[in-house]
Amino acid sequence: MQTRQFAADQAAALAEAFQARTATVGILGMGYVGFPLACAVDKAGYHVRGFDVDPSKVERLTSGNTYLGHMTDEPFAALAASERFKATSSVEDLAECDVLILCVPTPLDAAGEPDLSFVTASTQSVASVLRPGMLVVLESTTWPGTTREVMQPILEATGLRCGEDFFLAYSPERENPADAHFETASIPKVVGGVDDTATNLAASLYGSIVCEVVPVATAEVAEASKIVENVYRCVNIALVNELKVVFEKMGIDVWDVIKASATKPFGFQPFWPGPGLGGHCIPIDPFYLSWRARQCGTEAKFIELAGEINTTMPSLVVERTLEEAAQGPSGDRRVLVIGVAYKPNVSDTRETPAATIIEQLQSQGCDVSYHDPHCPRFPSMRKYEIDLASVPLDASTVRDADVVLIVTDHDAIDWSVIADNASVIVDTRNAMDGHETAGRVVKA
């Protein structure tokens, strides 16, 4: 009875701190998810501790300088100027927090299975400062059961009990870098706790930060909802990528088909083909669910098939590029790649199909260069070491290439330079639609 009363008193005190904005919120991981969340939490009136293990990020957070390519210095400077914000790489600074939110990577390992090393390391950091009355929330995309089965035992190894001494919940991130319409505070937030008290507390916190909170029955439901969001995109992109290949054999332009289908005002949402999947979410997250399915003795066949289709796209693009380059006037097959970020208008190259495409082209003896206004140098990646820097996009550079290969269609690219000067254009994004190219475009 005393234990239940203690838990109720702790929860009531925390809820009151949320209402009064006297709580301090610590955010572990100040990347594409953690930084905009910190901005939203600060704007809501809370004290914020932005924690990151990378000292250079902490230095830039303190000085107000951006390290996210799709963002200017302005939001960084605004956060740095806030009296409520402090950036830190010291775990001890998190001890003063009432809430700790984990926004850390969840990649795949070399075997293509979930890598929760960042989650477990961050949870261990939380455990080192955990005290009665704290709320801990995971935002990283992961397999259903992670919050309860992985995080809770680490936290309870301190001797504190979940639901009695501290509270634990899951609320998936829904960031979309470079989105001009939605930001953290304007995106509804799904929340699920390991018990009802945790759900209510997390809902109370996020309800004071974002436009709408969607409480669900359990942490597992919240975890699964995020996976489903990305599976939905993964399988639909796989569908149109397969249709691209099928319709090409029929002499039909898949982009024209999708545009026509999209005029239906109900029952259809357009997805567009491309050179392969990129980013941290769609190429990775669905396989967290297929892995979990195998652990539970079943299969997620649709996910596996979609992954198979999407991962073949870079090779198909390379094959088409080589066919076109072989027809060029030079013998060394010079290929100019346009865009290496995984999507338009960002500098993020995580899991970008451009890496696979460039490596395969180089292995076939092609002289590859690239232009990307957001990526001045190709970054070191987990599976690739591509030693290239962005070249200027001008008439001379375009004319020197046997093939111009469009991988990412940034708004900042001057497409008229390509249209006016390229001898052959392999277009994976339909970027040249509307430009006069006199039959020099091959869609792939």
Domain spans, the chain = 2-217, 243-443
The class level of CATH for 243-443 reads alpha beta
Asked whether this chain's domains 2-217 and 243-443 adopt the same fold, the reply is yes
Please tell me the predicted confidence (pLDDT) of residue 354: 96
What token pair was written down for 148? 């309860």
Residue 6 pLDDT class (50, 70, 90 cuts) = confident
409-433 pLDDT, tens digit each? 999 999 999 999 999 999 999 999 9
Active site residue 281: yes
As a whole number, mean pLDDT of residues 160-188 equals: 93
H/E stretch holding 238: helix 219-249
> What digits encode the pLDDT tens for the residues 328-386?
555 678 999 999 999 999 999 989 999 999 999 999 999 999 999 999 999 887 778 89
pTM score of the predicted model = 0.92
DSSP one-letter code for 162: B
CA distance 14 to 31: 27
User: Does CATH number 2.40.240.10 belong to domain 2-217?
Assistant: no
3-state secondary structure 370-387: EECCCCCECCCCCCCCCC
Q: Choosing from 234, 281, 366, 375, which is the catalytic residue?
A: 281
- Residue 176 confidence (pLDDT): 87
Tokens of 4: 């239940």
pLDDT in tens, 219-234: 999 999 999 999 999 9
The pair phi, psi for residue 338, each rounded to 5°, is -105, 110
b/e per residue, 67-96, with b = 16+ CB within 10 A? bbbbbeeebbeebbeeebbbbbbebebbee
CB 44 within 8 A of CB 21: yes
